[in-house]
Amino acid sequence: MKIIKRNGSEEDFNVEKIINAVRKANNSADTPFLTDEQIIDVADYVEYKCNKIKRAVSVEEIQDMVEDQLMAKGAFELARRYVRYRYNRSLVRKANTTDNRILSLIECNNEEVKQENSNKNPTVNSVQRDYMAGEVSRDLTRRMLLSPDIVEADKQGLIHFHDSDYFAQHMHNCDLVNLEDMLQNGTVISDTLIEKPHSFSTACNIATQIIAQVASNQYGGQSISLTHLAPFVQISREKIRKETIAEIAEMGVEINEEKLNQIVEERLRKEVNRGVQTIQYQVVTLLTTNGQAPFVTVYMYLNEAENEQQKADLAMIIEETLKQRYQGVKNEAGVWITPAFPKLIYVLEEDNVQEDSKYWYLTELAAKCTAKRMVPDYISEKVMLELKGDVYTCMGCRSFLTPDRFTDAGVGNIANAGNYVPGKHKYYGRFNQGVVTVNLVDIGLSANRDMNKFWKIFDERMELCHRALQARHERLKGTLSDAAPILWQYGALARLKKGETIDRLLYGGYSTISLGYAGLWECVYSLIGKKLTEEEGKALGLEIMKKLNAYCAKWKAAENIDYSIYGTPLESTTYKFAKCLQKRFGIIKGVTDRNYITNSYHVHVTENISAFDKLKLESEFQALSPGGAISYVEVPNMQQNLPAVLQVMKFIYENIMYAELNTKSDYCQVCGYDGEIQIVEEDGKLVWECPNCHNRDQDKMNVARRTCGYIGTQFWNQGRTQEIRERVLHL
């Protein structure tokens, strides 16, 4: 058997090389993770898999197999050590700062890393392992996998090449999990066949296992639909009915049909309660291989149900989901707090948007939950049908698929999905290949108020972004389904054969790839001194958005790849871009005088504007951001003013596709204060402080804020913290 080396030459497979490499990684620890016999088993199994592929296997593929086997044996730390060992020689040969960065994050001295993700705790071992592997990946990406001009542009903040800490691996961004196919037709988790569940509670338990597996095989968000769980309510109803009838017969008593139905429905409600609780608590408490709870969105859309009975059952699940989320989860002190995940999305539709609607009670409950816990967020069925022709959820916090075009083109079931219906548009099972974001502010400032120069630089940056996006696409090409069986072989995204590549899923509209943009507000202001809220500024902003779309359309037509405009969330990148702009252009009032730039097309957080005017204005820009975007309004404590929340929700239904309400949900563990934790300045640094007892220990407070489409609970970098501090209320 031959293997293909990194330089493209072939040599004979030598199992001893695998054994020696794993031994060295294993022996580098004070206490070895595996016995020598276990290491040999790993190597033998890799040799067996290589033989089954029936072709020459690359060194990279073999090393991925080794890592997978180490993970399968539970030797997670050894797997991480093995990843680092794989590139140890090349790292040593080239002078770089990777070693120092890794050491600094282990000792929690790296402020940039500590605040890189508001839902990761960098002091936890699992997070550190992920960051350590990420540093190796970044180093490889910069030195070997990307062209120097793209690396330099990213370094200077002209663009942002997202998730370079995962780029070395063949991983994609985010997706819509085909939960229906996996539950109805079975799946495989950790080499174990999971058949169709026989109850709602079991379906919920399996769903959480699927969520965890999917999260461990990608780096972005995932979404599931409660509609896919709804059929199991009827299965449980029938099961409970049989059991109840048997119990009654055994007791020798008689009851009428009405009483029987009452008992069955009461028991069914309890099972739905337990099932939803399983999803909520499992998602919150699960820790995936990247060191955080799964970034999962739960979608609630009544009109997705196949019939009225299923819609009623779906409504029961939605009601229970909202009630439990309103309650929250307990922190270590036993106090109910707001969790970051799962993110909830509630669709406003004809059946629930008016007081006389059948499911208005769910909308009232959603409003109550939003006022206290900041979720759910809202999709307007009316506006989404106008813009996309279909209604479906985003893939995480805001990334949307383009409308299905491959079904209408007669391509067929290219993912071999078990629930494929010919002629019916398909969204679940589709995914996004990745993101590259352009810093619009830098183009604006570089043009120095010369519009001809602006469009010239704009064109150059678009070509740069295009090549960077092509690099993302090329990195995924050739990926074997074996790289992530839960995704590509067992139904989450596809049911491909072992050894088959995912290439056909990268074209024809099955997946998307995102051109992100940031700082439209500052860009326009830097060019003409006008805000997006002024007619001249708005006109230029819309023109820029149309140009972005024109480029994506051109690339799509040429390559049959669905490039799409994406309103980048900007968590840590807002700070990175701001610092780069200040370094290149100095401090310019209204443009670079803050440590953050504005997300996507948003109105600046300091702008005094009403909630309704903001949503109406931003709806025009959101319509030009088909690959994803979300608008928000900042509100005070609305728990005693639910009619106002409902008024905003109705406005969303009529005017904008996707929006949310931001409130505050904090708790001080020192004094028990349950209100808004404030941001104050201490020696030039922004810190969080309880207004009651002045506690500034972040480990002794629970703070939840909308970061940029999702809720963050682990605090933020200085740029994002300043942005949060400066947000004005829109109601």
* Res 228: pLDDT: 98
* Res 7: pLDDT: 47
- The reply to whether 571 belongs to the active site is yes
SS3 assignment, position 117? coil
Residues 102 and 183 in one domain: no
Weakly modelled stretches of the chain, pLDDT under 70: 4-10, 53-57, 85-127, 287-292, 714
- The reply to whether 709 belongs to the active site is yes
pLDDT, tens digit (0-9, with 9 covering 90-100), for 461-497: 999 999 999 999 999 999 999 999 999 999 999 999 9
Residue 63 lies in a domain: yes
Residue 637 lies in a domain: no
Residue 715 lies in a domain: no
Which candidate in 551, 566, 601, 653 is catalytic?
566
Q: DSSP string covering 659-711, please? A: EEEE--EEEETTT---SPPEEEEETTEEEEE-TTT----GGGEEEEEE-SSSE
How many beta carbons lie within 10 A of that of residue 253, not counting itself?
A: 8
Residue 32: cis peptide before it, omega within 30 degrees of 0: no
Residue 579 lies in a domain: yes
Domain end marker among 334, 355, 388: 388
- The reply to whether 137 belongs to the active site is no
* Res 56: pLDDT: 65
Domain end marker among 340, 362, 388: 388
Helices (H), 7-124: 15-27, 36-53, 59-72, 76-86, 88-93, 98-106, 111-114
**Structural domain count of the chain:** 3
Residue 237 lies in a domain: yes
- The reply to whether 173 belongs to the active site is yes
**E-only strand ranges, 305-456:** 329-330, 336-337, 343-348, 377-380, 431-439
Residue 639 lies in a domain: no
**E-only strand ranges, 349-454:** 377-380, 431-439
Its domain, for residue 65, covers 2-143
Which candidate in 134, 275, 509, 709 is catalytic?
709
End-to-end, the C-alpha distance of the chain in Å comes to 69
Q: Is 53 exposed, middle or buried (0-12, 13-18, 19+ CB in 10 A)?
A: middle
Residues 491 and 515 in one domain: yes
pTM score > 0.75 for this model?
A: yes
- The reply to whether 395 belongs to the active site is yes
The CB-side HSE value for 470 (13 A sphere, CA atoms) comes to: 14
Q: Which helix (H) or strand (E) holds 137?
A: helix 125-140
Which candidate in 171, 174, 204, 701 is catalytic?
174
How many beta carbons lie within 10 A of that of residue 474, not counting itself?
A: 11
Q: Which of 52, 46, 364, 341 shows the shortest CA–CA distance to 222?
A: 341
* Res 272: pLDDT: 98
Residues 358 and 422 in one domain: no
Q: Give 399's DSSP letter.
A: B
* Res 292: pLDDT: 64
* Res 517: pLDDT: 98
Q: Which of 524, 519, 530 shows the shortest CA–CA distance to 580?
A: 519
d(CA 597, CA 524): 12
- The reply to whether 132 belongs to the active site is no
Beta bridge partners of 628: 399
What's the length of the chain?
731
**E-only strand ranges, 187-307:** 187-189, 192-194, 222-225, 296-300
- The reply to whether 534 belongs to the active site is no
Residue 342: cis peptide before it, omega within 30 degrees of 0: yes
Residue 631 lies in a domain: no
Residues 410 and 296 in one domain: no
Residues 273 and 374 in one domain: yes
Residues 270 and 346 in one domain: yes
For residue 671, give both structure tokens.
């004094």
Residues 79 and 186 in one domain: no
d(CA 149, CA 728): 39
For residue 459, give both structure tokens.
């064109």
Residue 498 lies in a domain: yes
d(CA 628, CA 223): 14
- The reply to whether 166 belongs to the active site is no
Residues 137 and 187 in one domain: no
How many beta carbons lie within 10 A of that of residue 121, not counting itself?
A: 16
Residues 506 and 560 in one domain: yes
Residues 266 and 306 in one domain: yes
* Res 244: pLDDT: 96
Residues 245 and 136 in one domain: no
Domain end marker among 388, 410, 441: 388
Q: Which of 365, 363, 372, 362 shows the shortest CA–CA distance to 639?
A: 372
Q: What is the CATH number of the domain that holds 296?
A: 3.20.70.20
- Angle, vertex CA 359, rays to CA 353 and CA 361, nearest 5: 90
pLDDT, tens digit (0-9, with 9 covering 90-100), for 428-438: 999 999 999 99
- The reply to whether 174 belongs to the active site is yes
Residues 136 and 214 in one domain: no
Q: Tell which phi-psi region holds residue 346, choosing left (phi > 0), alpha (psi between -120 and 50) or beta.
A: beta
